[in-house]
Amino acid sequence: MRLVRLTGVLALTALALSACGIRTTSIPVNAGAAPSRMPCEISGENVITQAESGIPARVYLVCSSGLASVERAARIPEGGAGSDDARRKTAQGLLDELQARPSAAEREAGFSTSVRGPLLVSGSRKGDPAGTLRLNRQPEDLPTVALAQIVCTLAESGATDGKVVLGGPGGYPARGYACEKETKIHPDTGVPTTAPPAAAPTAS
């Protein structure tokens, strides 16, 4: 009789737990590992992540809320950017890469881009600081992360001497921008501005 009563109590307890929405189980529950961060690295055989022909160049994409560089085959002048025209073409080739959809290898590694086109580069105007690159959109009107991608990419390229000076299509003066360590870690917090160099000398 005692065994029968104990069995009945257990049955009633299980029924009560079931009514409360609590599932009883004797099997341990494995919730799985915590979500892992994207690697932000391209495998060795895909170092140049785009199939098109071009000159190897480094561009900065978005990955894990920060900026990380990838190697691309960009359509930029061979042999560097000595002249103003070559610098402009180099900058345009790099911006084209930033606007391009990331390759399958890049997407698998967690890369994306915030730069949206069309984004075109023109040369400096009279009175602009030396090395100015003018865009068809006002730089400060671009998304913060997109501007960080552009500045960090140009700062480490032959399109500049490390000092990035950008202007827009209007009459506003060009501004200097810096790619700092914090810019790469937190590109959404803003791109630091710097004092632009002196205006380029005009021909007499």
Mean pLDDT, residues 31-45 taken together? 55
Instruction: Give the pLDDT score at 65.
Output: 92
10 has a pLDDT exceeding 50: no
Q: What is the mean pLDDT of the chain?
A: 80
Q: What is the pLDDT of residues 83-110, one digit of tens each?
A: 888 899 999 999 999 999 999 999 999 9
33 has a pLDDT exceeding 80: no
Q: Which residues of 161-189 are buried (b: 16+ CB within 10 A; e: fewer)?
A: eebbbbbbeeeeebbbbebeeebbeebee
Long-range CB contacts for residues 1-6, cutoff 8 Å, separation at least 24: none
Enumerate residues 6+ apart whose C-beta is below 8 A from 128: 134, 165, 167, 174, 199, 200
Helix (H) or strand (E) holding 58: strand 55-63
The amino acid sitting at 47 is V
Residue scoring higher pLDDT (202 or 7): 202
Instruction: Give the pLDDT score at 43.
Output: 64
4 has a pLDDT exceeding 70: no
13 has a pLDDT exceeding 50: no
Q: How confident is the model at residue 112 (pLDDT cuts 50, 70, 90)?
A: very high
8 has a pLDDT exceeding 80: no
Alpha carbon distance 170, 148 (integer Å): 21
DSSP reduced 3-state for 72: strand
Q: What is the pLDDT of residues 166-181, one digit of tens each?
A: 999 988 999 999 999 9
Q: How confident is the model at residue 38 (pLDDT cuts 50, 70, 90)?
A: low
Backbone angles phi, psi at 48, to 5 degrees: -85, 110
Return the axis-axis angle of helices 84-99 and 144-155, rounded to nearest 10°: 140
Instruction: Give the pLDDT score at 94.
Output: 96
Most confident of 35-44, 153-162, 178-187: 178-187
Most confident of 5-9, 17-21, 107-111, 200-204: 107-111
185 has a pLDDT exceeding 60: yes
